[in-house]
Chains A and B, each alone.
Chain A
Amino acid sequence: MVTREDELDKEVLEVLRQQPEKNSDGTPWKLKLGSRYLTKRDILDNWDNDNGLRRDVRKLLLGLKLHLLGRR
């Protein structure tokens, strides 16, 4: 059974795949989230085994969706 979390995870992964690995100055793109400081590769490598990471990143993008609804 496909849950809402699974659907959201798919969406998050799609956004993540589109995220360039490097910034415009050539330095690695990183996300500072909680006590973590992660590259795109770190997130992708840990995605399947790290529930906390999945939950935190999911919440980030869900927050943006809610924000956009409120701005309409």
Chain B
Amino acid sequence: MAAAPKFDEVTEISLAWCGQAMDEIADKIDIFDFYDREAVKGYVLQALDDKIPQWFVHYDHGSEYVMWGDDEKPIIDLSNLDSLSGMHVYCMNCLSGKGLGAHAVSKGVLEYWGYLDSVAFTTDAIDEFGKAFNYGIVMAVAEGKWLKDVVEDTRQYGYDIADKLREESKIFAAATLVRDMNILHVYYEGGPEPPEPECWFSRLAKKLFGWNGLWLLRMLRQKILGPERARNL
């Protein structure tokens, strides 16, 4: 299942990347997308219930604890992260790898592919960025592998593209792609522990109550204060 909302210039680009990735794997897996309707929370959660997909893909704006939808409201946040339980989750969005990703495995997600900071790109190498961002999902589905088994190949593939961009004097494109590959991360059961929270209170809460306790506190904060408004990609 692929959700790639579009509501600005940047998401027009990420929607196109998602479409290219889905085209590449369409002969290997049944794809359900939201191209003929809005990718918003209600539709997506209903579709997750109906289809019970193996893979959930999100290309669009993200923030630490939110995958955003067409209505610029959360599709997935801390409160419904467990609706992705049992799935391979592939995110080409900003920051959700840092927040949602850290809690994903404890909520039953098989593995969570995401970026630990804001995703960046330049418009002089849109196709090259798309290839690098899509490589993981395309390779994993094509070769019947888990995302964790293709992440280092993907990073290497991105670095190789960056080297070519540098040779073409596209220095900002090369630097940006290297940065994106550096912040790519996959969480999975038995994998490395998520990084320690930066905030001392979160570190203390994690020490006292574990990841699920920290999830509860963060979810309550989100319920009270609302999801953070800063969206990146």
Could you list which residues of chain A lie within 8 angstroms of chain B, going by C-beta atoms? Answer: 15-16, 18-20, 23-24, 27-35, 37, 59-61, 63-64, 67-68, 71
Contact = CB atoms under 8 A, between A and B. Distances in A.
Interface in B61-109: 94
A18 B232 CA distance: 27
Sort A-B residue pairs by CB-CB distance and give the 9 closest, nearest first.
A64-B175, A60-B175, A34-B118, A67-B178, A30-B123, A23-B124, A33-B120, A35-B232, A63-B179
Interface string B1-14: 00000000110000
Given A19-B172, A31-B172, A64 B123 contact: no
Interface stretch (B22-30, B139-147, B163-171, B194-202): B163-171
B171 A64 contact: yes
Nearest to B176: A60
Given A23-B123, A37-B9, A61-B175, 5 more contacts: A27-B123, A32-B233, A35-B118, A67-B159, A67-B182
10 contacts: A15-B171, A19-B172, A31-B122, A32-B120, A32-B121, A33-B120, A35-B232, A64-B175, A64-B178, A71-B159
A15 B176 CA distance: 13
Contacts of A19: 171-172
A63 B162 CA distance: 12
Contact of B178 (A29, A31, A63): A63
A32 B115 CA distance: 15
Contacts of B118: 33-35
